[in-house]
Structures are given as structure tokens and as C-alpha cells.
């Protein structure tokens, strides 16, 4: 199996104070780490899910992979080529390999363009020669399960699920090797969520593309992804095979996320691991294990010594002093 | 039968649009008993926004209330004049909206907003401030004295939703309407907010009308549940009735679709094929027939009547009577 994407110890920083202010006021940090020491690899045709609450750094990591966000440390290799050192011309060429489905399906479509021009826009932007745009748009519409009549509609005439399908078609326009799907089911009705996930599954089986799915809802990725990486405060705290994570979650945060989803059965009051408070600010990272402020199983060592990232088996790895 | 706080009978609301009359709500019946938490399950287009707007009388200009009554504590809300309904809103009935980022004013501090909404009270400024602080404390905002002077952008989404809940409870209303209060929040915060609502409800003793498309949340929080589809109540019962013995094909499908309910890994998730029908110029027949896998010939001809399965459980489907 070939590796499509290899991410190693990536750190993404955001500056929170301008140059002069950070020079004058040294009491607080001038920048925050949105992503810290993130490592994973993605094989061809595989799906990896990045899961975590808002502020965990999922989207930032995805933007860094597409080269839309500069990384401060580490390396991102796409089919063996280093992304971080690419210059703008090279980057533009590189981005053809990646289809991006944005989180806000309707908001990411220009309201003044019809669906046909929206889904062929990537081809125009990248000046792909010898393309019959009408044929391409019809092909793409068929691929995502919309009739050709949809080509003449405008974004406000689409339902949430249809807009999502247009987003998929746009992401596929340049025949990418990797699709990044940022919250593909956010804001969709339960009955439509399945449709979009089935579509992604089906396309992946047919086209053998790799996929990176970003979500805060573990239930969404249970049936779509091969591997899962759980992120907390910019770090990957646990990763492993989807089946393994669901059957044997080891990190307390994973446990909490899994039990956070209430079951549609009133008599099943699952023993829930409820987290106190909210995700801390990256400006003010907790000492020791960064999860200790919300961890229900916290012990003394957690408050002062950061846990190492331990590899448990050939697929599962996590950072916790006391894995379950 | 306990006392009812809210009784909606045969409520039908149309919207006059260019294409004709859009029948957004048709013959809706909902009861909210004193101290009960009633869940409304509905996907987009089921009429839940129209329902809320009818209760608090904030319907847009082109809405026509064709039929029905909304009885609240002995008076029909639909008969009240503007002044009377204004006196109800925020004091007797209050609403927690879906997105706390947009329901609070971004240019006023939390303190200003919490003091403003007490404009009816004759209390002094310091009394109002103390009340606001106590409210914030009761919804679990740490260190309210310093935080109250901050602005909405300085809070996280979960905190803002707590503040919205605190503000909704300020006048100790008898009915709290929660319009998808957890949809914009992360899963771990969702659990916190549900527990908060449950706690507060038992303390304040108000009734709650909780609207959500998240079946798990309804199962956990509510006593009874109303399932709405395309402007109709298709099933109604206690949470156990509806979640253990769903009687309407739509409810059954919806429960099947929920990814949380599917334990084994599958590449093909179940879906409900088709779309919600166009509600303009409706023809006769069951509203769900075009998406129903077990539709009968009679479903094309008549709108199904409400069928009582038990004294607490009812559904509108021809198969139950056939």
C-alpha cells in the first residue's frame, strides 16, 4: 500500500499579538499553538477521521495539509513531496490533488453562480486544458446523484443535502487523490446524513481516493472511516483503527466523547463520563497532562508530568498516564 | 390528567406565497402538562418554527391562522391583543433559541442585557444586578461578578447558551420553549446543557417544550414526545411508547436512520428516500405516502385519522386501522 499523506510532528502557530505589543508586553505568549505535535499517516484509498470538540485544531490541521496555513514545525509529505517548503506556484499545482468540502455547504457556494458553473469552477481556476465543461458538469452531477436539471439552479434553490452534494461534486472536479470533508453532516437532518455518508463511501469504493473526515460527532465516522485520530487542544491524544477505538477506547477523553452521544432509548441510561467545564484556552495550557482539568480520573502525576505518546499495539496509540 | 399549561387544538397555519397557499401546519394538537418536558421531533420543513412563532405570536405578515386555538393558562393566545401578548412574552413564556451567538446582542455586555430584560420590575439597580448574578450562578457560570461585565464574544458557545437559559428563566415563566438549544454545541457540552435544563426544570417547576431533531437527546430529557412531519403531528406518546413501539412508519424510519443506533459497521446506512412534499395546494391523502414503503391504496385517498393505540400513545396511519 502506498502512503498518500504523512504528517509528522506538525505544529501550527497563530500570532495573537502584533510585533510591537509582544515586544512591550512579555507577560503573555505572543502566539498560540493551534496544532501541536500532530502525526499520522494516510494510505491510498483509506479514510482517516479527525475527531474533537471545537477548538481542538482539526480544521487548522486540514488547512495546513492543503498548504493554506503555514506550519511552524514538522513536516507534511504528500506522495513523498514536502508541502511545507513549496513555493506559491508549486502549491497551486499541488492543490489540484486535494478536493475540499467546506463546513458550511451553502455558504461556500457563490450565490450568483449556478450549479453548473460552480462545479466546473475548479477546472477554470486551474486552467485544465481540453475539457468539455458541459460534459464534465453532467458527469459530476450524475456521480453525486443529482439530475442534470440541477445544473441550472442557484444555491438558494438547494436544500442542505443537495448543497452538500454540489460540494462533493466540486471537490471531485479535478480528479483529486485526497478529499478533505470538514463536518460533512453538520446541520443535516438525520434522514439525510446517511445519504451523504453513503455517497462518500460509494465514491471512495469506486474512485479509490483517500479521505480525511473532520467531525465532532463520533457516530458519523463509525461507518465511514478506517482510522480515527482524537484531538484535544491541538494534540492527537489517541489514534487507532475505528473498530478498535469503538470497542476498546483507552483515553478518558475518547470515552467521554463516546458516551456523550445520548442513545435513542429512554431506558438505556448508560454510565456516562461527563466532562466538567470546557476546553481550556490554548493561551493558557494546563501543566502536565493537558486534559487533567476535565479528566474524571485525574491523579497527582497528571497535574505535573505530561504523559508520553505510547504505542499500544500496531495500530492504537495514546497519551495518558492511566489508560483505561 | 394533570393540569395543562399549554393546549394546542387543531392549529392550522398557512403562508400566502406567490404560488398559492402553503399549508405549514395542519390540525396540530399538542398538550404540555404542568411540570412536564415535552419533546417535539421534527426535521427541517416539519413546521416547528411556525409552531413556536404561533405560540408566541411572532408569525410573519403573510401567515394566516386558518383554524385552531392555543390555550395557555386559561386564555387563548391567538385572541390576545398586541399589548396582552407582549406582557406574556418573557414573563410567562420564554424561548431559548438555537444559536446563542446570534440571540444575544454583540455590542452590549451581558450585564446590560440581563438588566434590560428586568425593565418590568420596580427593583433598584443593585437588586437587579444581584438577581442577574444569582441567575448566572445558578446556571454554573464561575465567578459571575467579573464575568458579567464581559461581552458575548468573550464567552464560549456553551457558556452563552447557559446565559440564554438564565435569561429565559429570569421571570420564572410557566412555559419554557427550547428551540434546538444544543444543535450548535459540541457533544460533551450538549450533555451538560441537557442536565442543566433538567435540573433547572425540577427546581423552577416550569413546563418545557423542547424542540430537537436529535432523537437521543429527546429520549434522555423528555417525558413525552410529539413527532411532526411536514406540518402534521404523526405520532404522539410517552418517550417509552414512541421509542420502544414506534407506530408510524416515519417514526420507525427515523429511528432506523439514526447513526447512533447502528452498532455494527456498515458501508450503506439506512436513509428515508424521497423528499418532504410541496405543501402548496396539497392533495388529499396521507402526507407521508410518497416516502412510505408500506403505503396502501387508501393512503392516496384519505388523510388518516388519529388512532389511539393506548391511552397515552396515538398515531395517524391507515395501517393501524386497516
Contacts of A192 in chain B (CB under 8 A): 271
Query: What's residue B98's pLDDT?
Result: 84
The answer to whether position B318 is within a domain reads no
Mean pLDDT (chain B) is 90
The angle subtended at Cα A142 by Cα A141 and Cα A144, nearest 5°, is 70
Please tell me the predicted confidence (pLDDT) of residue A316: 85
Mean pLDDT of A106-121: 93
Q: Do A278 and B156 touch (CB under 8 A)?
A: yes
Say yes or no: B165 and B180 in one domain. Answer: no
pLDDT over 70, % of chain A? 98
Please, what's the b/e burial string for A167-185 (b: 16 or more CB within 10 A of its CB; e: otherwise)? Answer: bbbbbbbbebbbbbbbbbb
pLDDT band at residue A270 under the 50/70/90 scheme? low
B258 and A264 in contact by Cβ < 8 A?
yes
**Same-domain status, B37 and B186:** yes
Same domain, B83 and B188: yes
Of B235, B250, B274, which closes a domain? B274
Q: How far apart are CA A39 and CA A229, in angstroms?
A: 10
**If pLDDT is split at 50, 70 and 90, which confidence band does B65 have?**
very high
Mutant choice from A221, A265, A272, A294 vs B, greatest count of B C-beta within 10 A: A265
Residues B197 and B255 in one domain: yes
- Where among B135, B153, B170 does a domain terminate? B170
Answer whether residue B252 is part of any domain. Answer: yes
Contact A67, A94 (CB under 8 A): yes
Query: B127 CA to chain A: closest CA distance, Å?
Result: 29
The whole-number pLDDT of residue B261 equals 73
| Within-domain flag for B137 | yes
Contact B31, B51 (CB under 8 A): no
Instruction: Give B22 or A264, the one with higher predicted confidence.
Output: B22
Site from A188, A243, A261 to mutate, B interface, most B CB atoms within 10 angstroms: A261
Percent of chain B exceeding pLDDT 90 equals 55
The CATH number given to whatever domain includes residue B214 is: 3.40.50.300
Counted domains in chain B: 2
B207 pLDDT band, cuts 50/70/90, is: very high
Stretch B61-87: mean pLDDT: 93
pLDDT of residue B59: 92
Task: Please give the average per-residue pLDDT across A51-79, as a whole number.
Answer: 90
* Averaged pLDDT for residues A265-273: 72
B269 and B132 co-located in one domain: no
Residue B16 confidence (pLDDT): 93
- Whether B225 has a pLDDT exceeding 90, the answer reads yes
Please tell me which of the candidates B157, B191, B213 has its beta carbon nearest to residue A189. B213
Whole-number mean pLDDT of chain A? 88
- Which residues on chain B are in Cβ contact (under 8 Å) with A278? 156, 158-159, 189
What phi and psi, each to the nearest 5 degrees, are found at residue B296? -105, 165
Distance from CA of A119 to the nearest CA of B (A): 23
User: Which residues touch A89 (CB under 8 Å, ≥6 apart)?
Assistant: none
Contacts of A281 (CB under 8 A, 6+ apart): none
Residue A220: its chain B contacts at CB < 8 A? 259
Contact list, A189 vs chain B (CB under 8 Å)? 43-44, 213
| CA atoms within a 13 Å half-sphere pointing along the CA-CB vector of B309 | 20
Residues B194 and B82 in one domain: yes
Q: So what's the pLDDT on residue B208?
A: 94
Residue B127 has pLDDT above 90, yes or no: yes
B55 & B125 share domain: no
Residue B177 is predicted with a pLDDT of 94
Q: Looking at chain B, which residue has its C-alpha nearest residue A294?
A: B188
Please give the residue that has the higher pLDDT: either A313 or A82. A82
- 3 state SS of A268: coil
Under a CB-based contact definition with an 8 Å cutoff, are residues B97 and B164 in contact?
A: yes
Closest approach of A269 to chain B, Cα-based (Å):
8
Any idea which of A32-41, A269-278, B56-65 has the lowest mean pLDDT?
A269-278
In a domain, B280, yes or no: no
Write the burial class of residue B311 (CB in 10 Å: 0-12 exposed, 13-18 middle, 19+ buried): exposed
Residue of B nearest to A246 (CA): B263
The yes-or-no verdict on residue A26 having pLDDT over 80 is no
What distance, in Å, lies between the first and last C-alpha atoms of chain A? 32
Shortest Cα–Cα distance, A85 to chain B (Å): 35
Mean pLDDT of A225-254: 92
pLDDT of A269 = 63
Write the secondary structure of A212-238 as one string of H (helix), E (strand) and C (coil): EEEECCHHHHHCCCCEEEEEECCEEEE
Residue B291 lies in a domain: no
Q: Please provide the distance, in angstroms rounded to a whole number, between the alpha carbons at the two ends of chain B.
A: 30
Q: Residue B268: its chain A contacts at CB < 8 A?
A: 198, 201
Q: Which residue has the cell 412510505?
A: B292
Together in a domain, B126 and B146: yes
Query: In A, what residues contact B, Cβ < 8 A?
Result: 53-54, 159-160, 187, 189-195, 197-198, 201-202, 205, 216-220, 222-223, 242-243, 256-257, 260-267, 269, 272, 274-275, 278-279
| Banded pLDDT at B185 (limits 50, 70, 90) | confident
As a whole number, mean pLDDT of residues B177-205 equals 86
- Assess whether B257 and B186 both reside in one domain: yes
Q: What value does the mean pLDDT take over residues A232-259?
A: 90
In a domain, B306, yes or no: no
B305 found inside a domain: no
ipTM computed for the complex:
0.79
Task: Single out the residue of A237, A221, A248, A203 nearest to residue A49, CA to CA.
Answer: A221
- Judge: A219–B271 Cβ closer than 8 Å, yes or no: no
Statement to judge: residues B71 and B182 lie in one domain: yes
Name the residue of chain B whose CA is nearest to A254's CA: B188
Whether the pLDDT of residue B2 is over 70: the answer is no
Residues B264-301: pLDDT tens digits? 777 788 888 888 888 887 888 899 998 898 888 899 88
What is the residue range of B256's domain?
4-92+174-274
Report the share of chain B in percent with pLDDT over 70.
Answer: 99
pLDDT at A1: 67
> Which residues of A fall within a CB distance of 8 Å from B269?
193-194, 197-198, 223
Lowest-pLDDT choice from A7-21, B5-19, B112-126, B238-252: A7-21
Do B75 and B221 reside in the same domain of the chain?
yes
Which among A257, A266, A274 has CB closest to B243? A266
How far from A233 is each of A9, A54, B11, CA to CA, in Å?
Answer: 15, 9, 48
In 3D space, the residue among B53, B150, B167 whose CA is nearest the CA of residue B110 turns out to be B150
Q: Are B217 and A193 in contact (CB < 8 Å)?
A: no
Model pLDDT for residues A166-195, shown as the tens digit of each residue = 999 999 999 999 999 998 988 788 888 888
- On chain A, the residues whose CB falls within 8 A of the CB of B157 are 54
Asked if the structure places residue B223 within a domain, the reply is: yes
The pLDDT of residue B70 is 95
Residue ending a domain, choose from B144, B170, B196: B170
Residues B60 and B147 in one domain: no
Provide the pLDDT confidence category of residue B229 given band limits of 50, 70 and 90.
Answer: very high
For residue B191, which residues of chain A lie inside 8 Å, CB to CB? 260, 262, 272, 274
In terms of CA atoms, which chain A residue is nearest residue B263?
Answer: A222
Q: Check CB contact under 8 Å for B269 and A265.
A: no
Taking CA–CA distances from A160, the nearest residue in chain B reads B44
Cβ distance B259 to A159 less than 8 Å, yes or no, reads no
* Beta carbons of B267 and A191 less than 8 Å apart: no
Amino acid at each position: 500500500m502506498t502512503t498518500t499523506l504523512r504528517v509528522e510532528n506538525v505544529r501550527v502557530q497563530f500570532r495573537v499579538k502584533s510585533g510591537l505589543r509582544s515586544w512591550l508586553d512579555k507577560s503573555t505568549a505572543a502566539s498560540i499553538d493551534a496544532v501541536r505535535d500532530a502525526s499520522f499517516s494516510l494510505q491510498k484509498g483509506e479514510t482517516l477521521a479527525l475527531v474533537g470538540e471545537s477548538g481542538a485544531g482539526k480544521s487548522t490541521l486540514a488547512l495546513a495539509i492543503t498548504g493554506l496555513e503555514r506550519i511552524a514545525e514538522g513536516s507534511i509529505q504528500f506522495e513523498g513531496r514536502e508541502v511545507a517548503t513549496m513555493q506559491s506556484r508549486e502549491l497551486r499545482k499541488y492543490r489540484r490533488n486535494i478536493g475540499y468540502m467546506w463546513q458550511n455547504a451553502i455558504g461556500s457556494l457563490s450565490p450568483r453562480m449556478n450549479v453548473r458553473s460552480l462545479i466546473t469552477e475548479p477546472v477554470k481556476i486551474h486552467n485544465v486544458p481540453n475539457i468539455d465543461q458541459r460534459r464534465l458538469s453532467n458527469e459530476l452531477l450524475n456521480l453525486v446523484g443529482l439530475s442534470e436539471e440541477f445544473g441550472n439552479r442557484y444555491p438558494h434553490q438547494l436544500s442542505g443535502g443537495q448543497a452538500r452534494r454540489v460540494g462533493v461534486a466540486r471537490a471531485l472536479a479535478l480528479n483529486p487523490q485526497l478529499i478533505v470533508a470538514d463536518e460533512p453532516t453538520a446541520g443535516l437532518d438525520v434522514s439525510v446524513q446517511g445519504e451523504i455518508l453513503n455517497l462518500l463511501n460509494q465514491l471512495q469504493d469506486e474512485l479509490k481516493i483517500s479521505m480525511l473526515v473532520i467531525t465532532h460527532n463520533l457516530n458519523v465516522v463509525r461507518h465511514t472511516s478506517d482510522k480515527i485520530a482524537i484531538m484535544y487542544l491541538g494534540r492527537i491524544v489517541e489514534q487507532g483503527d475505528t473498530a478498535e477505538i469503538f470497542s476498546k477506547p483507552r483515553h478518558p477523553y475518547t470515552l467521554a466523547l463516546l458516551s456523550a452521544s445520548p442513545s435513542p432509548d429512554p431506558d438505556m441510561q448508560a454510565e456516562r463520563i461527563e466532562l466538567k467545564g470546557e476546553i481550556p484556552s490554548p493561551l493558557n495550557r494546563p501543566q502536565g497532562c493537558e486534559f487533567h482539568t476535565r479528566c474524571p480520573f485525574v491523579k497527582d502525576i497528571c497535574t505535573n508530568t505530561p504523559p508520553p505518546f505510547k504505542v499500544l499495539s500496531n495500530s492504537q496509540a495514546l497519551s495518558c498516564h492511566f489508560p483505561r | 390528567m394533570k393540569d395543562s399549561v399549554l393546549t394546542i387544538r387543531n392549529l392550522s397555519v398557512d403562508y400566502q406565497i406567490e404560488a398559492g397557499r402553503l399549508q405549514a401546519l395542519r390540525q396540530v394538537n399538542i398538550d404540555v402538562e404542568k411540570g412536564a418536558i415535552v419533546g417535539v421531533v421534527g426535521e427541517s420543513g416539519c413546521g416547528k418554527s411556525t409552531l413556536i412563532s404561533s405560540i408566541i405570536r411572532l408569525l410573519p405578515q403573510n401567515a394566516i391562522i386558518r383554524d385552531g386555538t392555543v390555550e395557555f393558562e386559561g386564555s387563548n393566545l391567538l385572541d390576545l391583543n398586541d399589548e396582552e401578548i407582549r406582557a406574556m412574552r418573557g414573563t410567562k413564556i420564554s424561548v431559548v433559541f438555537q444559536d446563542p451567538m446570534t440571540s444575544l446582542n454583540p455590542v452590549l455586555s451581558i450585564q446590560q442585557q440581563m438588566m434590560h430584560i428586568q425593565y418590568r420590575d420596580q427593583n433598584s439597580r443593585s437588586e437587579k444586578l444581584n438577581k442577574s448574578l444569582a441567575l448566572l450562578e445558578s446556571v454554573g457560570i464561575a465567578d459571575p461578578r467579573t464575568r458579567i461585565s464581559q461581552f458575548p464574544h468573550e464567552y464560549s458557545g456553551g457558556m452563552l447558551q447557559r446565559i440564554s437559559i438564565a435569561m429565559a428563566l429570569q421571570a420564572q415563566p410557566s412555559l419554557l420553549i427550547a428551540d434546538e438549544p444544543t444543535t450548535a454545541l459540541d457533544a460533551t457540552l450538549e450533555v451538560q446543557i441537557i442536565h442543566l435544563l433538567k435540573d433547572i426544570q425540577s427546581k423552577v417547576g416550569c413546563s418545557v417544550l423542547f424542540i430537537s431533531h436529535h432523537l437521543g437527546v429527546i429520549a434522555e430529557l423528555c417525558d413525552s414526545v410529539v413527532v411532526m412531519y411536514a406540518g402534521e403531528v404523526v405520532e404522539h406518546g410517552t418517550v417509552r411508547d414512541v421509542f420502544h413501539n414506534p407506530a408510524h412508519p416515519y417514526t420507525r424510519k427515523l429511528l432506523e436512520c439514526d447513526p447512533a443506533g447502528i452498532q455494527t459497521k456498515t458501508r450503506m446506512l439506512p436513509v428515508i428516500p424521497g423528499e418532504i412534499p410541496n405543501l402548496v395546494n396539497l392533495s388529499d391523502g396521507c402526507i407521508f405516502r410518497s416516502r412510505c414503503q408500506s403505503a396502501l391504496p387508501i393512503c392516496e385517498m384519505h388523510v388518516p385519522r388519529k388512532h389511539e393505540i393506548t391511552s397515552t400513545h396515538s398515531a395517524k396511519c391507515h395501517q393501524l386501522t386497516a
